[in-house]
Structure 1
């Protein structure tokens, strides 16, 4: 059994009256079921080593000054998180949507449509990774960072319906996904170690696309899915629409 933990960076929507711009990133971290408890224990131990409560989330974008760290301590903490991912995750897959170009598509009209498109591309790449590695008949459970809020309490259910629809009808490149769970599970990142680590996968990708700064992206690049020749673009990171404008 495999678990896919999916977190986002950036926002899929845009303010009314404004032109959509920037990027929206989904990152999926694939973990074998037998490694889930190890994942939890390693991250909890790592937090304790840095004086953090083991059950408390420290996000990719959290300010290190908020916990009294120096930048070096902050960088070392991040390095340790990446080492946990390196040791216990199978691979990382990213999907990056150019919001300005995506919203020009006639089938992307709001943030739900944009997120759905990113999720479909993620599902395809995960299925392709199975084909790469020869994984057969491996039940796969998706755990997605909850999107619902006080204004839109049905966001998770809308996404679940889209997910189930893709299972029934397939997507452009895949006829179906027979080993994916019937419906994804939604959780807050505070309650899921896997989602907390997926946050550290999405953050560096979004940072690289948005700012061109690739220090942290390069540190996790080795874990991203690649072609047999080592190519990341289109394999481990799918950009939409079109090809990336940066070197992956």
Structure 2
């Protein structure tokens, strides 16, 4: 069984939002069930190091120089220690070559020009869809490599009752869909699983990955995006475009 932990960078903006970033990102971290314990153990040990002493949720936004949220788990660290922690944290992922990253970067302005994207939840859905498809393709590729069917399920952050209900319905419609415009999700198991991010090491890792990608596209700071690049799902020649990194919409992206 393979887990696909997903989370978004920021909040999907409404059509009339004037303060949103130009790009909305949903990122995913894919790992086999046998890897979870090792990854979770390493994260806990890293947080417990004396130079960090982190007791709380790991979120990308907490590492910002001006973040003063009361529950900021890294608020007691100076910037040098925050950066050092992020380097060690991401290396937990990078050391495991079979752990893969998938992400979709939506151009908010281009997406809202489409008749199908009418509100924030539609934007979320159409940004999530390419991620779910690439997870299915990844499972298909693995099945061919190992010679038996590889199964997977998606674990996502709980966002709110209304948003969660919409997400579940949209996900189920995709997985059970039988028309020519819906991918075959034959390697998926069950419906989507939603959990509060503070209770999931995997969802927190997806948050950190999404944050790094969002930082690269929205603020032209590619430091951690480039660091993570070797873990993206890629073609044999190493190209991640369309494989591990998808842009939405495919036409008119700006």
TM over 0.5: yes
Whether 1:31 and 2:31 are equivalent positions in the alignment is yes
Write the distance in 2 (CA, Å) between the matches of 1:21 and 1:172. 33
Write the distance in 2 (CA, Å) between the matches of 1:160 and 1:110. 17
**1:121, 1:238 within 8 Å by CA — same for their partners in 2?**
yes
Whether 1:125 and 2:134 are equivalent positions in the alignment is yes
**1:140, 1:181 within 8 Å by CA — same for their partners in 2?**
yes
Write the distance in 1 (CA, Å) between the matches of 2:140 and 2:236. 13
Write the distance in 2 (CA, Å) between the matches of 1:244 and 1:62. 33
Could you say if the C-alpha distance between residues 177 and 31 of structure 1 is closer, same or farther in structure 2, counting changes exceeding 3 Å? same
Counterpart of 2:71 in structure 1 is none
For structure 1, which segment, 200-209 or 234-243, has the greater mean C-alpha deviation from structure 2 after superposition?
234-243
1:26-77: CA deviation from partner (whole Å, max 9, x where unpaired): 0010010011111211111110011112xx1131111477533222211110
Listed as ranges, the gaps of 5+ residues in structure 1 are none
**Secondary structure of 1:154's partner?**
helix
Count of matched residue pairs: 240
Write the distance in 1 (CA, Å) between the matches of 2:239 and 2:181. 19
Counterpart of 1:157 in structure 2 is 165
1:72-117: CA deviation from partner (whole Å, max 9, x where unpaired): 2111100111011123462000101001110111111011111111
Of 204, 207, 223, which aligns to 1:196? Answer: 204
Counterpart of 1:68 in structure 2 is 76
**1:108, 1:114 within 8 Å by CA — same for their partners in 2?**
yes
Of 179, 195, 207, which aligns to 1:187? Answer: 195
Write the distance in 2 (CA, Å) between the matches of 1:230 and 1:174. 27
**Secondary structure of 2:213's partner?**
helix
- Alpha-carbon RMSD across the aligned residues, in angstroms, is 2.4
Listed as ranges, the gaps of 5+ residues in structure 2 are 66-73
Write the distance in 2 (CA, Å) between the matches of 1:229 and 1:26. 24
Whether 1:91 and 2:103 are equivalent positions in the alignment is no
**2:4, 2:28 within 8 Å by CA — same for their partners in 1?**
yes
Counterpart of 1:103 in structure 2 is 112
Could you say if the C-alpha distance between residues 80 and 243 of structure 1 is closer, same or farther in structure 2, counting changes exceeding 3 Å? farther
Counterpart of 1:147 in structure 2 is 159
**Secondary structure of 1:80's partner?**
helix
Write the distance in 1 (CA, Å) between the matches of 2:149 and 2:17. 48
Of 227, 231, 239, which aligns to 1:219? Answer: 227
Could you say if the C-alpha distance between residues 36 and 169 of structure 1 is closer, same or farther in structure 2, counting changes exceeding 3 Å? same
**2:102, 2:232 within 8 Å by CA — same for their partners in 1?**
yes
Write the distance in 1 (CA, Å) between the matches of 2:64 and 2:78. 7
**Secondary structure of 1:107's partner?**
coil
**Secondary structure of 1:3's partner?**
strand
- TM-score, with structure 1 as normaliser: 0.88
1:134-161: CA deviation from partner (whole Å, max 9, x where unpaired): 364222121001111xxxx221111111
